[in-house]
């Protein structure tokens, strides 16, 4: 486990474009246990809205969202 984020899994979606970051986030959430954290890294501008909407619709919790130099970083806790 990554001590910096305590994430169970990290998805590196840098260089991937819609819909890949969202599809990989869905698969990533399904591959971790309830209560664990998924870290997602992306640089597709559409991923910000897509992943936020996905988390809201599915009830998962975005613990952190960072945007730096065009790179996006999400920490998402699997709720159910």
Active site residues: 18
Task: Report whether 73 contacts 40 (CB < 8 A).
Answer: yes
Give the angle subtended at the CA of 6 by the CAs of 54 and 15, to the nearest 5°. Answer: 50
Single out the residue of 53, 47, 60 nearest to residue 19, CA to CA: 47
């Amino acid at each position: 486990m990554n001590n910096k984020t305590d994430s169970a899994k990290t998805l590196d979606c840098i260089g991937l474009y819609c819909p890949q970051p969202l599809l990989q986030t869905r698969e990533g959430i399904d591959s971790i246990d309830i209560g664990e954290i998924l870290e997602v890294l992306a640089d597709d501008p559409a991923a910000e809205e897509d992943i936020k909407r996905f988390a809201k619709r599915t009830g998962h919790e975005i613990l952190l969202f960072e945007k730096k130099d065009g790179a996006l970083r999400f920490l998402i806790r699997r709720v159910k």
